[in-house]
Homo-oligomer: A and B are copies of this chain.
């Protein structure tokens, strides 16, 4: 498949400039980006962008895709109760079939919201992998082992899912300190060392979690993991709400990724991440939606907006966080965080993971500053097209690989087994 996009504006995310011209894709890659030229070749498809904006797809750097089953369920609980009363009992009833369909529902939401890859922690990974490949969605698994299971299969998954399909890969991870005993943390460290591999985990999501870790080990989770050698080959953490300055120092020194999940932290009353501190420390940052049970949407636009504005309150500064830095975290940062070094920006030879922003939406006008319009005013309604790996998966409201009616029907049928 080769596509020529012409009459486009482009935000490559290599810098904040908007350029005009065209972009070509061949198979899974961008083959040309630059001014309009007379193409001495043919394309499978030529798309007049009519001035709409091409940019790299958004990267959801922390999510639990199949948890779409839990959307608008048990919205009244904080994290601990929510997990133990609402989520764990239902997860015990989940089947491969359920994870397959609820993952597809999530992919539909990602794709129609301009998200071209996700960094996902969940079970029944084969079911999600199958759904991802059928959909054409780029799915990066993060190992989700804890004391209830997963450590015995972690290495097997690492080898299997990194050799499954070009759209799928697997990065080591465990659930969190409060669900993982020291022996298992050491197993995690051993695997990181065996494969020189990065490791990710939920970290410092609630103050209770940090206090519990300090009671058990006398140190914060970041300090503990660092001491155990878990981060010797990189990786990072999800949430990072209650990081101390020392935690940030460790993450900075080791080049670890801090992944923010503002909506989930608000909804579960976990806290507000001081995003501005991570940025002023020049740390590596990315953004995720977390699962649909604790958000409840899977919109990266809402996340990016909140990561930009929430720091304003604590700092009494309307410019505490630069919006372009957040747009970069939501695109380039997310890609690099999940090992997608070829999906980070629009450039020749990079993967064709591209979205088109509809500039003919009222919220995108006037064009005082297009990048800021995206951060401060966009939502899923501005996504006109989503291409992953060179294939158009969504265009003008229509999915090309997902039968949404079937996904919705199956999702509601399967909910009956989870009550």
Interface residues in chain A, defined as those with a beta carbon under 8 Å from any beta carbon in chain B? 68-73, 75-79, 82, 105-106, 108-109, 112, 263, 266-269, 271-272, 292, 295-299, 301-302, 305, 309-310, 312-313, 315-320, 323, 360-363, 365-369, 372-373, 376-381, 397, 404-405, 407-408, 411-412, 415
Contact = CB atoms under 8 A, between A and B. Distances in A.
Given A77-B318, A263-B309, A366-B411, A372 B405 contact: no
A266 B312 contact: yes
Give how many copies assemble into the complex: 2
A100 to B, nearest CB: 14
A319 B315 CA distance: 26
Contact of A379 (B297, B323, B366): B297
Nearest to A292: B377
Contacts of A312: 266-269
Nearest to A414: B366
Contact of A269 (B301, B315, B378): B315
Question: Which of A70, A109, A381, A412 has most B Cβ within 10 Å?
Answer: A381
Nearest to A380: B381
A399 to B, nearest CB: 9
A396 to B, nearest CB: 8
Query: Looking at A72, A320, A404, A407, which has the most chain B CB atoms within 10 Å of its CB?
Result: A72
24 contacts: A68-B365, A71-B366, A71-B376, A72-B372, A72-B373, A72-B376, A75-B369, A77-B319, A78-B318, A82-B318, A266-B313, A267-B309, A267-B318, A269-B313, A292-B377, A296-B377, A298-B362, A302-B305, A360-B404, A360-B405, A362-B407, A365-B408, A365-B411, A379-B379
B299 A363 contact: yes
Contacts of A269: 312-313, 315-318, 320
Most chain B beta carbons < 10 A, residue from A271, A272, A319: A319
Given A69-B366, A72-B368, A268-B312, 12 more contacts: A71-B376, A75-B369, A78-B316, A78-B318, A106-B362, A267-B376, A271-B313, A272-B313, A292-B377, A298-B363, A301-B379, A379-B381
Most B C-beta atoms less than 10 A away, residue of A78, A363, A369? A363
A412 B69 CA distance: 44
Contacts of A317: 78, 269
